[in-house]
Amino acid sequence: MSTQPEALRLADAMLSLDAWNKTGPKVLMEQAAAELRRLSAVNAELMGALRKITRTMYHIETPPIESLEEQMRNIARAAIAKAGGAA
């Protein structure tokens, strides 16, 4: 099993004549389309988390700094974990 991200594996496969011959173009295109959709969803989640952090920063009236930092850290960690990364 490769540690290479799926998007990069598919990008390499799309450019590899050997992969086209083994797998076929339809399968590679379907896999690439699925991965693009997955990455789009992850991007939307991460952007939502950033928006939530921004709202938290601007809509709380003088919170204790530790509280605000902890809230932002928790939002960021949750988004990173959902995206499949280590938080």
Give the mean pLDDT of the chain.
79
**What is the DSSP track for the chain?**
---S-HHHHHHHHHH-HHHHHHH-HHHHHHHHHHHHHHHHHHHHHHHHHHHHHHHHHHHSSS--HHHHHHHHHHHHHHHHHHTT---
Question: Residue 19 domain-assigned?
Answer: yes
| Residue 67 located in a structural domain | yes
Range of the domain at 70: 6-82
> Does some domain include residue 87?
no
In this prediction, residue 78 carries a pLDDT of 83
Asked if the structure places residue 18 within a domain, the reply is yes
Domain-located, residue 71: yes
The Cα 2–Cα 25 span in angstroms is 21
In a domain, 1, yes or no: no
Instruction: Examine the pLDDT at 83 and tell me if it is beyond 70.
Output: yes
Q: Does 74 map to a domain?
A: yes
pLDDT at 63 > cutoff 70: no
